[in-house]
Structure formats: C-alpha cells, structure tokens
Amino acid sequence: MSVDGTESVEDFRLRARRWLAGNLPPTSSGGFGRRTAGSDEEELAEVATERRWQRQLWDGRLAGICFPTGYGGLGLTPAHAAAFNEELVGYAYPWRLQVPTMTPCAAVILEFGTHEQKIAHLPAILRGEQLWMQFLSEPGSGSDVAGAQTTAVREGDEWIINGSKIWTTGAWWSDWGLCLARTNSDVPKHRGLTVFMLPIHQPGIEISRIEMLDGSKEFCQEFMTDVRVPDSARIGGVDDGWTVVTRWLFHERTYASSPLTIRPARGADGARGESGASLLSLAEQAGRRDDPRARELVGEAHALTVAVRELDRRVHAAIAAGTASDQLASVSRLMHGVVAAQLNTIAFDLAGPRAVAWGAPDEELGSRGISYLTRQMASIAGGTTEMARNVVSERVLGMPRERTLDRNIPFREVRNSSTARTDGRR
C-alpha cells in the first residue's frame, strides 16, 4: 500500500495474477477481434459468457481500474491498468464489453454526463449489465460525422428522433446506444448537433443486420422512427454536440491504448492480437520455422508491435502532460490502422497456400485467409485512416485546411445526396 492507502502497482499486479488464474479460462488466441461466421445462438451464448466474466471482475474488485470510485471504479492509475493487461496475456476475457462500451461510450458519459447519468449507467456498465454501441455513422455521411441527418425535434420534455445509423457492431445483442442527432438545421453543420442516450430495443427502432464477406452479420443498420427520448437522456448542451463529439472521437481513436479498457498487452489492433511470438508459432504450423523469409516476416511483425506500443505511450504521455493537443491521438489511430493491415498480410504470407484452401486440420492457417480478405477493416472502423491523415496534417502539423463548400452556411442549405440535382447537371 502507498502512503495514501492506494494499492501499489505491484500489490495490484499480484492480486490480479492470482485472481485471473482462478477465474478466467486460458486461451491461445489474442482474444480481441471479430468472429467468423457462426450461429446466432453461439454468439448470444458468448455474449452471455462475457457478461458473466465482467461481473466476476466486478465481484473480484478488478473492474473499472481507472474509473472513479464514486461511480463503481477502483480509482487507480494507468500504471495499474497496464499491469493488469500484462497479466491478462493468455486468458480469455470480456472483449465485447470493452469497445465501444467502455470506450468511447462510458468515457463520454464519464466526461460529459450529469452525476445522475453516471450513477445510473457507469456501475451497470462495469458489472456487465449494460452493453453500449455508437449510433454515429450514417448511410450518407460515414466519415463526415458532422454531416449527420438523423434529426431530434423537441416536444416538451422529450425529443423525437428520426433517421438511420449504420455499421453498428453488435447492435442486435446490445442494450444502449450513444446517438448523435441534428437538433438545428438553421446553423452551420457543426453547431446544430446534440448527443443522446437511448435504449436500443424499444418501439420505433428497427435493426437490420448486414452480411459481410466472411459470412458474419455483426454489423447492423438501425432505422429510427419517432423514437421518444427524455431530455434527461441528453449528453451535453443542446446544439453543442460537436463539443462532445470531438472528445468522443478522441476516445474512439485511442481505445486500443486507453486505460479504461482491458486487453492483453501484446499485439496490435485489428490483427488477432498477433505478436512476433504468435506468428513464430504460426510459421511452425506451416512448416516454415527455419525459412529465412519467414523469420524475416516474424521479425518485422515484432518490430511493428513494439513501435505501436511505444508510440501509444509517447502520445498518451504528451497529451496528459499538456505538451500536445488531443488531436495527436490521430497519429496513433493512423499507426494502428496501417500496422494492423500489415500484420494480417504477414500472417497470410506465413500461412502459405493453406490460407487459401484448407481442410479441417488446417483451420488455424485457413483463418488467416479470411483475416487477409478483411484486413482493411482496421483502416475504416473507428474513423478512417484517411480522416486521421487529414487531422494530422491540419491540426497537428498546421498545414492548410482542405477547401470545403459547406463552411459557415446553414445545414439545410448544404447539398447532399438527398438534395442533389437529378437533371444531370452539377
């Protein structure tokens, strides 16, 4: 214990090590990642299991390591969170409850929510009772978040929401959504937005699942028709949603290294938790352990994962110390997207022909083929790497902004796909 009564990092590490050994099952996979195609029943069973694991973490006083004690957390430091993630290597864990539930959703509530909102939701999140999703992207404005066309119209103490959101991972088995809506079309697009919390399964919300290349249906599109939300569920000020969204996007870009989430301390985002060691094992399965080219690829993967980890540490330290803007987080976002695609490519190369056509004994190698086909997801989900490059160039390096045609004009006058001319002229 430290002089102020806080559990020391080493004491916490030892406690976590003992608890993990007695409560979570071992695994050889990286843990965090997308599922391949499986039945709905299987996925629902896995979600229920992960909720149970999260509750066990809560009961074992290991949930919410860096959340304030007043809202159910432990009130400890990022160093404690890092120690836990190091001990978590080799164990299965509730990865579906980390992103976007813990960050960015819980992080946004923690930063902008009222005391009543935090009390109502944060302890429930940490107990695994509430799974949250982002109702952010829209069919006509994926990367242009401020171009949201979903509307919220006030009616007394309620708001009526109409519109559609898309690419919501796991909405069909989740509980709550953090929703961005337009509340004022008479001002420029960044100034007329508001953020709301809403239960996903309620009258007026229809969920449509999207089948992906690998057969999975984890992504969803939501259609909202006259959905009523009380004003008490509003996050931040009316028409001041961009203030919330700016931090929302920061938490989204830094989720892989956020102290609010737990994840094994190895590998890089989006690539099955691959590390030099796991890829060396893959090379052995493919019979290529002594192949010089294979060893070169394993070395490259190890160097990339170390570079990502150290970059994250430097970026977080600079932002925490106030020596850099939180926009620097886009550097980490860009690095994670690029490295994840490369690690999937390396794994595919190591697996060889059996990543293209495989039988039952080669499933581990064959799965690398599926990961390779979907490798660019890491450059799209969580904000595209193209947008990250724009942020880095304009807001970090101070380069001239790209010319836009919708600056400082009312949103209702902005041309979009629903208002574009249909006579062939532009």
In tens, the pLDDT along 309-324 reads 899 889 988 988 889 8
Tell me the one-letter amino acid at 269.
D
pLDDT at 415: 74
pLDDT at 33: 45
Tens-digit pLDDT profile for residues 63-117: 999 999 999 999 999 999 999 999 999 999 999 999 999 999 999 999 999 999 9
- Per mean pLDDT, which range of 140-144, 208-212, 275-279 is the poorest? 275-279
| For range 198-209, the mean pLDDT | 97
Tokens of 190: 């960044």
Tens-digit pLDDT profile for residues 206-231: 999 998 877 788 899 999 999 999 99
- Per mean pLDDT, which range of 13-22, 89-98, 286-295 is the poorest? 286-295
Task: State what percent of residues in the chain have pLDDT above 70.
Answer: 89
Bridge partners, residue 158, by sequence: 155, 230
3-state class (DSSP) for residue 180: strand
Tell me, what CATH number does 91's domain have? 1.10.540.10
First-to-final CA distance of the chain:
69
Q: Is residue 411 part of a domain?
A: no
Q: Write the DSSP symbol of residue 69.
A: G
pLDDT at 417: 57
pLDDT higher than threshold 80 for residue 278: no
Same domain, 224 and 280: no
Q: Is residue 178 part of a domain?
A: yes
Q: Which residue has the tokens 């009564």?
A: 5
pLDDT at 54: 98
Same domain, 123 and 191: no
pLDDT at 190: 92
User: Crossing angle, helix 329-351 and helix 241-253, to 10 degrees?
Assistant: 40
CA proximity to 394, closest of 311, 332, 341, 330: 330
Q: Is residue 352 part of a domain?
A: yes
Q: Is residue 210 part of a domain?
A: yes
pLDDT higher than threshold 60 for residue 290: yes
What span, in angstroms and rounded, lies between the C-alpha atoms of 418 and 407?
Answer: 19
Same domain, 123 and 21: yes
Tokens of 271: 């690539």
Range with the largest mean pLDDT of 182-191, 212-221, 266-275: 182-191
Q: Is residue 207 part of a domain?
A: yes
Tell me the one-letter amino acid at 243.
T
Q: Is residue 416 part of a domain?
A: no
Contact criterion met (CB below 8 Å) for 222 and 210: no
Tell me, what CATH number does 331's domain have? 1.20.140.10
pLDDT at 393: 93
Same domain, 323 and 348: yes
Same domain, 384 and 296: yes
Give the chain's domain count: 3
Q: Which residue has the tokens 């299991």?
A: 49
pLDDT higher than threshold 70 for residue 347: yes
pLDDT at 421: 33
Q: Is residue 97 part of a domain?
A: yes
Q: Is residue 114 part of a domain?
A: yes
pLDDT at 422: 32
pLDDT higher than threshold 70 for residue 423: no
What span, in angstroms and rounded, lies between the C-alpha atoms of 422 and 222?
Answer: 27
pLDDT higher than threshold 50 for residue 269: no
Same domain, 21 and 122: yes
CA proximity to 109, closest of 118, 119, 101, 100: 118
Same domain, 150 and 138: yes
Q: Which helix (H) or strand (E) holds 198?
A: strand 193-199
277 confidence band (pLDDT: 50, 70, 90): low
State the residue range of the domain holding 47: 13-130
28 confidence band (pLDDT: 50, 70, 90): low
Average pLDDT in the chain: 88
What span, in angstroms and rounded, lies between the C-alpha atoms of 217 and 170?
Answer: 8
pLDDT at 271: 41
What span, in angstroms and rounded, lies between the C-alpha atoms of 311 and 244?
Answer: 26
Same domain, 350 and 324: yes
pLDDT higher than threshold 60 for residue 395: yes
Q: Which residue has the tokens 């608890």?
A: 19
Same domain, 115 and 155: no
44 confidence band (pLDDT: 50, 70, 90): very high
Same domain, 28 and 46: yes
Q: Which residue has the tokens 């109502």?
A: 120
Tell me, what CATH number does 228's domain have? 2.40.110.10
